[in-house]
Amino acid sequence: MEGGEIKTYDVIIIGGGPAGLTAGLYTSRSRFDTLLIEIGLLGGQMTTTELIENYPGFPHGINGDELSRLMEEQAKRFGMEVVSQEAVEVKIEGDMKVIQANGTTYRCKALIICTGTEWRKLGVPGEKEFAGKGVSYCATCDGAFFKDSQIIVVGGGDSALTEALYLTKFVKELTIIHRRDSLRGTKIYQERVFANPKIKLLWNSVIQEIKGDSIVRSALIKNVKTGEVTEISIEGVFLFVGLSPRTQFLKGLVNLDEAGYIVTDENGETSVKGIFAAGDCRKKLLRQVATAVGDGAMVAFAAEKYLEAK
């Protein structure tokens, strides 16, 4: 489709992770003209997850990239269209929702937002400068570059623990640096981390600065209890300090909570009639592939009811 052209759909989905792909599967199976807009890879964060162990139906886990391809194939089989563009603005014109994406204007009757989250930045000196030169937010993308090296992983949640376990395939030794004295992540991952001889834990500690020349060489670590600062030699820093919702482009349009997550009713409808939200970008208790898929199915059904009532 050329820039400037306007195309109208029954349903537009912004974001192609598990929530968006499931919503697209449902609305296209119900024969609603459906477009999915995604700037990155279909599958979203799943595509960089080595093994998804808690998605039912796969007793030995499934590779995230493979699950993404299967979900994509299933949704496309029923006619869902996909464009590789970034949605930058949404406006309301009467009953229609108008989306601007890389110079193209799309219109739809029902809009489903599934934009997920992105990695939160730590904001310490050296983080920006050494991004891609030793600082990483993706173990499956960059892990292999750190063969036999010493690295640090920051964070104590599920991401930090699962990614640290994955990184032990490559590195000589890694240290998990956590700002408290107990981990947030799921117990089964904690057990595996504690049992892994390649993983050390440094409690009550934060990174103060990442240092190097053309690549990362060391980090200044501060003990938050004693205030003591030590410099340790490392070749890589993997940061997993949580996620922020990708909802900035919706500010002023739908209600967001203080952290930027989209506030919806129990059916996934936002403060604007005909705009729904599903998956990690929605305000909710648990953000997993299983809950994203459930959300996607639920909002697709709610959007269908909205369209049928019109």
Of 81, 111, 95, 114, which is closest to residue 10 (Cα–Cα)? 111
Is 155 a binder of ligand NAP (CB under 6 A)?
yes
CB of 103 to ligand NAP, least distance (A): 33
Q: Which stretch binds ligand NAP (CB under 6 A): 35-43, 71-79, 93-101, 155-163?
A: 155-163
Is 260 a binder of ligand NAP (CB under 6 A)?
no
Is 157 a binder of ligand NAP (CB under 6 A)?
yes
Q: Which stretch binds ligand NAP (CB under 6 A): 27-35, 68-76, 176-184, 230-238?
A: 176-184
Cβ closer to ligand NAP: 11 or 243? 243
Identified binder of ligand NAP from the candidate list 13, 135, 139, 160, rule CB under 6 A: 160
Q: Write b or e for each residue in 23-59: b if 16 or more Cβ atoms lie within 10 A of its Cβ, otherwise e.
A: bbbbbbbbebbbbbbbbebbbbbbbbbbebeebeeee
CB of 241 to ligand NAP, least distance (A): 4
Identified binder of ligand NAP from the candidate list 40, 61, 79, 242, rule CB under 6 A: 242
Active site residue 114: no
CA distances from 267 to 227, 237, 297 (A): 48, 40, 10
Active site residue 281: no
Q: Which stretch binds ligand NAP (CB under 6 A): 9-17, 105-113, 131-139, 241-249?
A: 241-249
Cβ-defined contacts of 71-75 (< 8 Å, 24+): 71/18, 71/21, 71/22, 71/25, 71/42, 71/43, 72/16, 72/21, 72/42, 72/43, 74/21, 74/25, 75/21, 75/22, 75/24, 75/25, 75/28, 75/36
Residues forming the site for ligand NAP (CB under 6 A): 54, 122, 154-160, 162, 179-180, 184, 206, 240-243, 287-288
Among all residues, which ones are annotated catalytic? Answer: 138, 141-142
